[in-house]
Amino acid sequence: MKKVPILSRHTPSIDRLPVSDATAGPYAITAGPDGALWFTLVHAGEIARLPPGGGPDGRLDGRIDRHRLDPASCRPSVITPGPDGALWFTRSHDHHIGRITVTGQVSSFAVPTPGCGPFGITAAADGALWFTQMHTDRIGRIDTAGRITEFPLPVSGSFPSAIAGGPDDALWFTLNQADAIGRIDHQGQITIHPLPTERAAPVGITPGPDGALWFVEIGAGQIGRIGMDGRVTEFPLPDRSCRPHAITADPVTGLCWFTEWGAGKVGSITPDGDIEEYDLPTPDSEPHGLTVGPDRALYVALEIGEIARLELP
């Protein structure tokens, strides 16, 4: 295991920034190439931008820009920076991949397989975007010109969910209903790694600062780690019913941060498996996606219509 320096743990201060009403559904969030935060409003059918600020308290301030999609029922889900300086996102209800420039120009590309339900998406080392198809057991690849290639998985009913690039330049993804982690290289060769725990139902996955992939098991209440050799280690959370949902890494501190959707908490885990948890101000806030912002704070999308900001060490 690659050793990563861990800075002192501390209890972070938490600020809340209202960004929508409770019906819009802030879901996934990422840091954009323009220094702003970009997030999806899954129920409102919009992409929102929170511009960088400069206030003395470190919070991002300024006007929230909201960009309506067509149709509004397309359910924008996961969003990620692309290799072309734009933001790319999945539209899980109308089965498209979306693209939005930092100036707000929107385009979309239909996925060839009907009813595929694209969800997770990430930029890869080959200069393309790779995404999961929840309903059709496929992994997709879209280049910046909008050309899509699809790769069938060797399992059925697996519900591929989140996807992330690994240190080996391959793509690693969670198979929520197959209780497994998958790997696909740029040529489409696929390997499936079953998890030790039944009904683990993995969702979020991220490259860790220790050279492994870290993921959450929403069904089992655990954090998982998988090395490049396929070896899996699992770390039970104090509340096994907390339903961890998303996870992201902070390379500066060596920590991975995750949301507990069912418990209204945010947690962190060291490469050695030391876990700490922090209560969000509203217990039923339904935290989903999270990202480290350009100001080195942790930002969490809360489905109640807020973005939470946690000061990192």
95 is in an annotated binding site: no
pLDDT averaged over the chain? 93
Nearest 10 degrees: Cα torsion 248, 249, 255, 260 = 0
At residue 13, the pLDDT reads 85
What pLDDT shows up at residue 51?
86
Task: Centre a 10 Å sphere on the Cβ of residue 27 and count the other Cβ atoms it contains.
Answer: 22
Residues designated as active site = 288
Give yes or no for a contact between 45 and 64, defined as CB atoms under 8 angstroms apart: no
pLDDT digits (tens, 9 = 90+) for 87-139: 999 999 999 999 999 999 999 999 999 999 999 999 999 999 999 999 999 99
Q: How many residues does the chain have?
A: 313
pLDDT of residue 107: 98
Residue 245 marked as a ligand binder: yes
In the chain, which residues have pLDDT < 50?
Answer: 1-8, 54-58
User: Locate tokens 């309903």: which residue?
Assistant: 135
What domains can be seen in the chain, in order of their start residue? 156-279 (2.130.10.10)
- pLDDT of 311 reads 87
Is 311 annotated to bind ligand?
Answer: no
